[in-house]
Amino acid sequence: MEAELCPWEDTIIIAAASGNTDELQRELEKGTNVNVGDHEYQRTPLYWAVLRGHDAAVLLLLSHGANSNTPEPAGGKTPLLVAVAGTKGGHKSVVRRLLGAGADTDTPDMSGDTPLIVAARNGKIAMLKLLLEGGADPDIRDWRRGQTALSLAAEAGHDGMVDLLCLHGATASLADDHGMTPMAHALENNHEGVARKLADHEALHDPRDAAQILSDTLAGVRAEVIDPYEDLKDEVALPRAAADGCEDVVKRTLEHGIDVDVTDVNARDDNGMTPLLLIATDGNTKALTLLLDAGGDPSAGDEIDNLTIMGRAAEDDNVAVVELLLDRKVSPREDDKTLLYALHNRSKLDRVGTDGYNFIKTLVDHGADAYLDAWVDDRPLVIAAEHGIEDIVALLLKAEFNSAALRQEHIRNAICVAAEEGEEVCLKLLMDEYVPGGEEVETPWEWAKSYRFGRSYELLRPYFDPNRGNREEQDDSDDDE
């Protein structure tokens, strides 16, 4: 994802977006309106400082009366929601500043998402804790299906997040728009440990004991899974069951009257989706295995983005599906977006850790092309550098490549982004592999001298400025005089 730049027309906006507190202080002392909106987006200086994670600039603006609840007009996102959704797990120090300044925890954006829902959906437990301690409503619902944060956490099997929400009084029995409780979501996704925790929590407010609550919920989930398909023709039931991840129904349908040949298993529904594509989002590997054994084509793409099952699974962070496909000798090159989506996945970037590194390494080891010529706006190395994922940058730099010139183009782009984001370790890794020359339109140093965005100029100067040493010696001699 390209780093979002601000419109360069107001000094206070530029200073806030680049984290230049000295310039920002001068503007505020001159009496510049601390809540002025930029000309293009009407975003305030505080919004820009929060967006770029500049803690000191945020503190300075808040101390001068910046409104912590002013949303940006286009999407209705408040500074707090932007901070929670930030890279690397969110800007925690900025979130603390905003909460301390009275930022409202439950204000939704235009899509209906609140900071707590965003934190829960993306697995950001540190953000969730800060918001709950700051007074966020633990039972607030999302706009998609009316799910609470507890429902989203249970669905994902996030034990720690479930514990935290229960501790702050989240209602375990609260059903979403489809009548599914958090426990039902946990059971449907085979998170039995989470379901038992929720049963224990619900039993505190229910005349039934935990075992009975669990049994009743399980019976309801089983009925919900099986009943909707009984009156459907097999050719209709198969894609629907695949979309819902119901391996029992998939197996039953394949064994029944349907003539299991490749045409039927790969038939597309009204939206152009095959059963395999539908199952990628759910991640049910048992149902996936049944479909593959019956002749499902893993190379079939959807009719919108031509995304295959592997690409869709990577996009939804379904590692188990990707690993199963790799075990069955499906190449990640079947879909050139697989590596890109695995890196772009917001939750993957927020908790890349050992599991995330191993996932990316597995794709690279199985032949995923890290330097594809088709990638122009988004490139794996640039994404990793932008988010400061040092071990992934190092991994991609060691990956095989077909064109040295194309690899250098990717490295050059990543250098500019790493400098812009202040990612010094990533910058050093990239500079160790950078070879100037060739068909470069503009070197990173020429770019830095032209834009001078944030600290990029000073970060790149030691690598590119041949006169740096002479100037510093001259500066020292001037000081001695």
pLDDT tens column, 302-346: 777 788 888 888 877 778 888 889 998 988 887 777 888 788 664
Do 102 and 10 fall into the same domain? yes
Residue that wins the pLDDT comparison between 303 and 3: 303
Domain termination residue (choose one: 206, 231, 256): 231
Do 102 and 144 fall into the same domain? no
Do 123 and 57 fall into the same domain? yes
In a domain, 73, yes or no: yes
Least confident of 260-264, 352-356, 387-391: 260-264
What was the pLDDT predicted at 358? 83
What was the pLDDT predicted at 1? 36
Do 101 and 182 fall into the same domain? no
What was the pLDDT predicted at 350? 46
Only one residue has tokens 């989506």, namely 341
What was the pLDDT predicted at 351? 44
CATH number, domain containing residue 379: 1.25.40
Domain termination residue (choose one: 213, 231, 249): 231
- Distance from C-alpha of 426 to C-alpha of 393, rounded to nearest angstrom: 7
Residue by residue, DSSP assigns 164-184 as HHHHTT--TT---TTS--HHH
Residue that wins the pLDDT comparison between 346 and 57: 57
Residue that wins the pLDDT comparison between 332 and 226: 332
CATH number, domain containing residue 87: 1.25.40.20
- Distance from C-alpha of 253 to C-alpha of 248, rounded to nearest angstrom: 9
What was the pLDDT predicted at 93? 86
Asked if 302 and 326 touch (Cβ cutoff 8 Å), the reply is: no
In a domain, 258, yes or no: no
Total domains, the chain:
3
Once rounded to an integer, what is the mean pLDDT over residues 51-61?
Answer: 92
Only one residue has tokens 């990640």, namely 332
Residue that wins the pLDDT comparison between 263 and 155: 155
Reading the block at residue 362, the tokens are 């597995």
The answer to whether residue 397 scores a pLDDT higher than 90 is: yes
Do 160 and 131 fall into the same domain? no
Do 145 and 83 fall into the same domain? no
In a domain, 167, yes or no: yes
Do 112 and 3 fall into the same domain? yes
Confidence of residue 235 (pLDDT cuts 50, 70, 90): very low
* Residues whose CB is less than 8 angstroms from the CB of residue 46 and which lie 6 or more positions away in sequence, other chains included: 16, 34, 35, 58, 61, 62, 66, 67, 68, 70, 79
Tens digit of each residue's pLDDT (9 = 90 or more) over 377-393: 678 898 888 888 899 99
Do 5 and 94 fall into the same domain? yes
Confidence of residue 231 (pLDDT cuts 50, 70, 90): very low
Confidence of residue 252 (pLDDT cuts 50, 70, 90): low
**Averaged confidence pLDDT in the chain:** 79
Do 212 and 117 fall into the same domain? no
In a domain, 170, yes or no: yes
141 forms bridges with which residues in the sheet? 148
Whole-prediction pTM: 0.51
In a domain, 350, yes or no: no
Tens digit of each residue's pLDDT (9 = 90 or more) over 419-466: 877 888 998 999 999 888 765 566 777 766 665 555 666 777 787 765
Q: Of the candidates 127, 77, 78, 74, which has an alpha carbon nearest to the alpha carbon of residue 101? A: 78
In a domain, 357, yes or no: no
250: number of Cβ within 10 Å = 28
- 151 is in which domain, residue-wise? 139-231
Do 220 and 175 fall into the same domain? yes
Do 5 and 98 fall into the same domain? yes
Tens digit of each residue's pLDDT (9 = 90 or more) over 67-100: 999 999 988 999 999 999 876 545 788 999 999 9
In a domain, 360, yes or no: no
In a domain, 130, yes or no: yes
What was the pLDDT predicted at 234? 43
Domain termination residue (choose one: 211, 231, 251): 231
What was the pLDDT predicted at 266? 80
Do 116 and 17 fall into the same domain? yes
Asked if 378 and 416 touch (Cβ cutoff 8 Å), the reply is: no
Tens digit of each residue's pLDDT (9 = 90 or more) over 16-37: 988 999 999 999 999 999 999 9
**3-state class of 259 per DSSP?**
coil
Tens digit of each residue's pLDDT (9 = 90 or more) over 120-166: 998 889 899 999 999 999 999 998 789 999 999 999 999 899 999 99
Q: Of the candidates 198, 194, 208, 193, which has an alpha carbon nearest to the alpha carbon of residue 174? A: 198
